[in-house]
């Protein structure tokens, strides 16, 4: 064999060896990249149950691998976050029932990773959502190991978290409330979205969280049950008045104020979870048929219960509360007037008949 052939064979063997080497190393690099997560969800766990509408998320993000995070709820994009710290937190407002939350990590407009989770928002306002589905369970964030959050957040309450302050005093002053609350509430930085609605409950409005939430309870920051154990501490006049009435509405009898009222904030006056008519017919379904009062007795048309002006309450719309007391009354059917039968009630408005 001449020298030229030997050189060709040697060159071929070198190229083959280099090819195997680079292929192996490229495969190793790909495997290492595959093992490295672009982000992990610190909290919440999958299949979590929440009682109210706000849930907080905490992510640990590889900033080299991710330049954008998208959050979808039931396939609708809700949030878009440009991560600038290793721990990214955000909150979502969810409707009752199951919600599918997808968190997508992007790099240079390409999806590099995604996580799909489910959350169940339980609600006493619907039989459909009262029972927790199989596979879902409640989880208390403050009972878990949250040491990773301590890098950015204070995890123990301070004196400022119980403020005997009238919220009206804040409305009269012109200052940066967000700065004040952020510096005087350990809860604010994580939970600020719970007061994002137009009508805010007094203690929540001034971030006096420990006025209601117990620090020494077995489940940390739990609230006394039934609700009246807590609510009546402030709403003393209501307790005295309602307890002296002959008839009481079911939720009042059971001490379940939060069936109808949000303890934090709501879109409706009196912190109602829904507008009055929708809230009432949510349980009293048959009264939403349009035949209430008359249609179920001697008339086929029925009496309007909404979408009209209230003849006795100037500036208000007709609703169930036009005729009924939502809490307690001395008169049958929780009537809001001193009457003993339906015809007396009718004459309150139709006095010329």
Domain final residue pick, 99, 121, 145: 145
pLDDT band at 169 (very low <50, low <70, confident <90, very high): low
Give 266-288 pLDDT, tens digit per residue: 999 999 999 999 999 998 988 88
Q: Is residue 18 part of a domain?
A: no
**225-261 confidence digits (pLDDT tens):** 999 999 999 999 999 999 999 999 999 999 999 999 9
Q: Which domain holds residue 280?
A: 251-347
Q: Taking residues 169-174, what's their average pLDDT?
A: 56
Tell me how far apart the alpha carbons of residues 80 and 85 are, in angstroms, rounded to a whole number.
15
Greater confidence (293 vs 235) lies with 235
Domain closes at, from 82, 111, 145: 145
For residue range 97-107, what is the model confidence (pLDDT) as tens digits?
999 999 999 99
User: Sorting pLDDT into bands at 50, 70 and 90, what band is 340?
Assistant: confident
Q: Are 163 and 141 within one domain?
A: no
What is the pTM (predicted TM-score) of this model? 0.80
Last residue of one domain, picked from the residues 84, 115, 145: 145
Same domain, 271 and 317: yes
Q: Which helix (H) or strand (E) holds 99?
A: strand 97-107
Q: Note whether 141 and 163 are same-domain residues.
A: no
The closest of 213, 206, 201, 199 to 166, measured between CA atoms, is: 206
Are 281 and 219 found together in one domain?
Answer: no
- Residue 299: inside a domain: yes
Look at residue 113 and tell me if it is in a domain: yes
């Amino acid at each position: 064999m001449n020298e030229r052939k030997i050189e060709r064979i040697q060159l071929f063997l070198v190229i083959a060896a280099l090819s195997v080497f680079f292929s192996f190393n490229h495969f190793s690099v790909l495997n290492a990249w595959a093992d490295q997560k672009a982000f992990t969800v610190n909290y919440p766990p999958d299949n979590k149950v929440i009682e109210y509408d706000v849930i907080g998320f905490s992510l640990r993000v590889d900033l080299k691998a991710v330049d954008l995070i998208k959050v979808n709820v039931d396939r609708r994009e809700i949030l878009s976050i440009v991560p600038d710290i290793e721990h990214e937190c955000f909150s979502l407002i969810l409707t009752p029932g199951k919600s599918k939350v997808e968190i997508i990590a992007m790099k240079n407009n390409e999806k590099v990773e995604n996580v799909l989770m489910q959350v169940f928002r339980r609600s006493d306002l619907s039989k459909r959502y009262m029972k927790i589905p199989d596979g879902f369970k409640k989880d208390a964030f403050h009972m878990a190991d949250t040491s990773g959050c301590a890098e950015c957040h204070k995890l123990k309450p301070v004196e400022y978290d119980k403020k005997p302050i009238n919220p009206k005093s804040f409305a009269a002053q012109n200052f940066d409330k967000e700065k004040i609350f952020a510096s005087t509430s350990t809860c604010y930085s994580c939970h600020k979205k719970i007061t994002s609605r137009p009508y805010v409950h007094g203690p929540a409005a001034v971030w006096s969280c420990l006025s209601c939430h117990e620090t020494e309870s077995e489940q940390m920051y739990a609230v006394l049950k039934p609700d009246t154990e807590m609510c009546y501490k402030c709403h003393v006049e209501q307790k005295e008045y309602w307890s002296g009435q002959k008839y009481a509405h079911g939720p009042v009898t059971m001490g379940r104020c939060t069936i109808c009222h949000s303890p934090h904030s709501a879109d409706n006056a009196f912190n109602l979870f829904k507008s009055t008519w929708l809230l009432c017919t949510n349980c009293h379904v048959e009264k939403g048929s349009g035949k209430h009062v008359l249609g179920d007795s001697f008339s086929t048309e029925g009496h309007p219960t909404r979408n009209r002006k209230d003849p006795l309450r100037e500036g208000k719309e007709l609703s169930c509360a036009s005729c009924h007391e939502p809490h307690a009354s001395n008169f049958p059917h929780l009537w809001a007037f001193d009457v003993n039968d339906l015809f007396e009630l009718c004459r309150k408005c139709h006095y010329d008949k």
